[in-house]
Amino acid sequence: MIGNSDIKDKNDSRKILLALTVLILIFGVSTILIFPSFLEILSSGTSSGLGLKDSAVISFFITLVLLTILTIASGDGLIGEVQFVLTAFFVFFIIIWLMIAWIF
């Protein structure tokens, strides 16, 4: 017979698989959506620099990937610490956005 802990483990495994599938799907869609913008940015390598609009797009995806990696590495951070992850997202986004616009 299957015990309660086995059923709980199966449900947890399904939730993790679903979360990873959604994450990979979001990553794939975002990669497809950013690709034309990325090519445009690469082709304008000899121009005067990136503007705030281009650096905001780059910063959004860098921040999304960075915080996803950090929350997965922290264990239960993806679900249990949503309020801190959202705050960190906006702080990282602003800092990375302005630094990309300033440096490049």
How many Å apart are CA 60 and CA 53, to the nearest integer? Answer: 11
Residue 44: predicted pLDDT:
63
Residue 51: predicted pLDDT:
80
Per-residue pLDDT of the chain (104 residues; tens, 9 = 90+): 567 888 888 888 898 889 889 989 998 998 888 888 877 777 665 566 678 888 888 899 999 888 888 888 877 655 667 778 888 889 999 999 888 888 76
Quote the crossing angle between the two packed helices 4-43 and 52-73, to the nearest 10°. 160
Residue 38: predicted pLDDT:
78
If you write DSSP's letter for every residue of 13-49 in order, what string do you get? HHHHHHHHHHHHHHHHHHHHHHHHHHHHHHHTTTSS-
